[in-house]
Chains A and B, each alone.
Chain A
């Protein structure tokens, strides 16, 4: 109960955004809590075949986000607020791994992944998105909600030649017909 109250108070402090000094202090809290270095940039899509890898500005998001847990669930920062997560994670401490790929699989629909799901009834988070889904949902979800930040594919990624071939874009844009999609 204590922990829960403490969590609530911290949350409230964030929401009201009091004085600039306090804000700066609060922004430092997660970093202090973690006691490990937080990356400023993270290279995403490093194994992409359709799009080039690109740098994700983590430092900027640390500055802009209200909470680490906005992206990292309950794994770092303040305690969990989401009523669905609170049911179990009310008192959960910080997780050992906070990276997206630490939990979200690169191949959520592989034979192995699906087999694990069907053979182990005890898995609770059965509907956990894969890495690609989790990241796009988090990024695009927040960017659309805040009406800030990129939401289009190529706003973040630069397409490789293979990507252009797949989407019939760039040098692979259909030439013979008009671009209105009406054909003939």
Chain B
């Protein structure tokens, strides 16, 4: 079962009656992103796996010291995921065909045109800015992890560095420090190979197709993110098919919002129940953390301060 289907099932089963309109105005699911929205074209045929982007992100976003130097290539032995300590990671994929070198792919939040995290957030902590970034307000975030479940790319992670304020962590397109004032993100700026091209999303789609047209031998004919999930701000080109570089091709071209908006009519009820539920879970989580154990059945000890 897909995680978001699970979410959907949970919500639907919890709903006994259809409740009225929510505060959010749901359109027909055809929002194409802001006209001047920015994006990044990730051309994996150019990437050499130098991890400079990871290093730049680490410093720009003031993330904790890494376990080893960013020169350490042994990290490629495993497929890594982004987490609260690394908002972007580069993974290595070995092509099935003989004689082809490895392909490296940087991953981070894809900054969807219609973000599922935003849709699923019942306290409206998320914003899709007109520049194209999907950002969040950690002061509003209650740590419910809805967005984590909703995200088709499994991007949002949680930071528990402050026990009483768990906050969502994911790539924010360097919004605060750069995008807002028109500067390219730190990872883009440092990339020696210009594997990352920053620009208006609509231009990048043209650029991507033009690269395929001019050098068809170099590319698999697909611009990942142009259509997936209603379109993402970050787009991918590769010599391999998306599956071979672990890009999910089972995602529909409809934004996740279309799948979830039917049942989001239940949000008002959810609003009344979930905060209590999640603050309980949160308290448990933090207490368990202190003990260094996980006890899932301590629900009855739930208490609010």
> Which A residues form the contact surface with B (CB < 8 A)?
84, 108-111, 114, 117-118, 126-127, 129-130, 132-134, 136-137, 140, 144, 151, 153, 165-169, 172-174, 177-183
Contact B67 A182 (CB under 8 A): yes
Given contacts A133-B194, A137-B193, contact A117 B65 (CB under 8 A): no
| Pairs A-B, 9 closest by C-beta atoms | A133-B194, A109-B184, A111-B182, A183-B67, A136-B192, A181-B75, A109-B198, A167-B70, A169-B69
Shortest distance between the CB of B303 and any CB in chain A (Å): 32
Contact partners of A165 in chain B: CB under 8 A: 59
Please determine whether A168 and B65 come into contact, CB atoms closer than 8 angstroms. Answer: yes
* Residues of chain B at interface, number, CB under 8 A: 40
**A52 to chain B: closest CB distance in Å?**
15
- Complex Cα distance, B127 from A152, in Å, reads 39
Q: Which of B69, B189, B199 contacts A168 (CB 8 A)?
A: B69
Q: Are A114 and B65 in contact (CB under 8 A)?
A: no
**Given the contacts A109-B188, A167-B71, A181-B74, A133 and B193 also touching, CB distance less than 8 Å:** yes
Q: How far is the CB of A145 from chain B (nearest CB, A)?
A: 11
10 CB < 8 A contacts A-B: A109-B184, A134-B194, A140-B48, A153-B52, A166-B56, A168-B55, A168-B65, A173-B68, A174-B69, A180-B67
Contacts of A140 in B (CB 8 A): 48, 193
Is there an interface contact between A132 and B192, defined as CB atoms closer than 8 Å?
yes
A177 to B72, CA, bound (A): 13
Within 8 A of A (CB), among B47-83: 48, 50, 52, 55-56, 58-59, 65-72, 74-75, 78
Max chain A CB contacts within 10 Å: which of B74, B191, B199? B199
B21 in the interface, Cβ–Cβ < 8 Å?
no
Binding site for A on B (CB under 8 A): 46, 48, 50, 52, 55-56, 58-59, 65-72, 74-75, 78, 101, 182-184, 188-189, 191-194, 197-200, 203, 206-207, 210-211, 214-215
Given contacts A133-B194, A136-B194, contact A169 B70 (CB under 8 A): yes
Give the A-B contact count at a CB cut-off of 8 A.
Answer: 101
A133 and B184 alpha carbons, distance in the complex (Å) = 14
A159–chain B nearest beta-carbon distance, Å = 10
A178→B68 contact, CB < 8 A: yes
Q: Which residue of A lies closest to B38 (CB)?
A: A114
The answer to whether A109 touches B199, judged by C-beta atoms less than 8 angstroms apart, is yes
User: Is there contact, CB below 8 Å, between B68 and A177?
Assistant: yes
Task: Please tell me if the beta carbons of A174 and B194 are within 8 angstroms of each other in the complex.
Answer: no
B57 to chain A, nearest CB (A): 11
Please give the distance in Å from A160's CB to the nearest CB on chain B: 14
Contact A137 B72 (CB under 8 A): no
Contact of A127 among B56, B59, B184, B207 (CB under 8 A): B207
> Out of A129, A133, A144, A174, which one reaches B66, CB within 8 Å?
A174
Shortest Cβ distance from B202 into chain A, in angstroms? 9
Given A114-B182, A126-B207, A179-B68, 15 extra CB contacts under 8 A: A109-B189, A111-B182, A130-B194, A133-B194, A134-B194, A136-B193, A153-B52, A167-B71, A168-B66, A168-B70, A177-B67, A180-B68, A181-B67, A181-B68, A182-B67
Residue of B nearest to A157 (CB): B192
